Structure 1
Amino acid sequence: MMEKKHCKRPDENSWHKLIICALFIGYFGFIIWLTVLSRFVKTRRIELRPFWALQEIICGNPKGWEEVVWYFQNILLFIPFGFLLRGIVDNWKKVVLFGVIVSCGIEIIQYISATGLAEIDVVTANAIGTGMGCLLWKAGKKMNMRLKKRET
């Protein structure tokens, strides 16, 4: 007689990871839409000087401040990216590296498709945002562990 094997029910942790994966895929799609698919600029520009907006401010160009705001917006855009990806990937260095690779890919696509200014500062900002997301994940995990300790 053949013995029936019962499928193990997924534990709570695997459900959490599945939800985080779904959220990450959705957020990744949002980033691609926001940075590539929703743009119709049609001018090909590239800026490879690091921190060029700060250099413009020092030289008296007020347009530099607008670029600094964009810099911080890019940091904010990639915080959830790093936070969610850190919930899937255990190594924070791999998460930040993936953030840099994605950011470079976006900048290359923007340059080729002439849908925005491709710049090294955006890659830097996105890497910082991804790293900040990783730190927030770690802080949240520590807080969760402390709360669980208090409950027992």
Structure 2
Amino acid sequence: MLKKFYKIIIVPYTLFLLYLMFLGMGRFQYEDHQITIKPVFSTLEFIHNSIDPRSILIIVLGNIIMFIPFGFLGWIFQPLEDLKTLLYSFVSTIIIVEALQYFTRMGIFEVDDIILNTFGVYLGWLLRLLIEKRFSRSVL
């Protein structure tokens, strides 16, 4: 049952997430192409310079939490049950999305986003394993 629900909800969820990444949350088109390629340091700098803890939660934790559902893609595509295949596929896809943000100027190509999003997928994969071990096939 859980797998069936996931199969129904993942496409609209993905579309919603793409909307947020390109148009939502007050996004606008930058005048220039923006890129941040200092892994981890740019996020630490953002946290250090931010006076609003809510912004830190939304940006940093949001980039992790919003991608947890993609760790369950193995329920739909059997090859993605394997962590290596899942992460390779996801990183390839998120790089394309970040590049689209860069080329359309509707966002910033950020290496930290790739890292945080991938960590979210990894957490989702671990959660999927936990759920599968914890519950019988009848629940899934």
Tell me the TM-score normalized by structure 2.
Answer: 0.76
| Contact 1:76 1:129 (C-alpha < 8 Å) held by counterparts | yes
2:39 is paired with a residue of what secondary structure? coil
Indicate the percent of aligned positions where both proteins have the same amino acid: 27
Q: Deviations over 1:86-120 (max 9, x none)?
A: 31232122222222122111111111111112100
Larger radius of gyration: 1
The CA distance in 1 between the partners of 2:130 and 2:52, in whole Å, is: 34
**Runs of 4+ residues over 6 Å off in structure 1:** none
Aligned-residue CA RMSD in angstroms?
2.9
The CA distance in 2 between the partners of 1:115 and 1:96, in whole Å, is: 25
Are residues 64 and 125 of structure 1, via their aligned partners in 2, closer, same or farther at CA, if it must alter by over 3 Å?
A: farther
The CA distance in 1 between the partners of 2:137 and 2:75, in whole Å, is: 18
Q: Deviations over 1:48-88 (max 9, x none)?
A: 01111314556xx33696457512111001001212x1312
Are residues 141 and 126 of structure 1, via their aligned partners in 2, closer, same or farther at CA, if it must alter by over 3 Å?
A: same
Matches within 5 A, 1:2-151: 19-38=5-24, 40-43=27-30, 44-51=33-40, 52-55=42-45, 61-62=49-50, 66=55, 69-83=58-72, 85-88=73-76, 89=78, 90-145=81-136
Letter in 2 for 1:106: V
| Contact 2:65 2:120 (C-alpha < 8 Å) held by counterparts | yes
Count matched residues.
Answer: 131
Q: Which runs of 5+ in 2 are unaligned?
A: none
Corresponding residue for residue 8 of structure 1: none
2:34 is paired with a residue of what secondary structure? strand
Highest RCO, 1 vs 2 (Cα 8 Å, sep ≥ 6) = 2
Q: Deviations over 1:24-56 (max 9, x none)?
A: 222222222221244651113110011113145
| Contact 2:98 2:109 (C-alpha < 8 Å) held by counterparts | yes
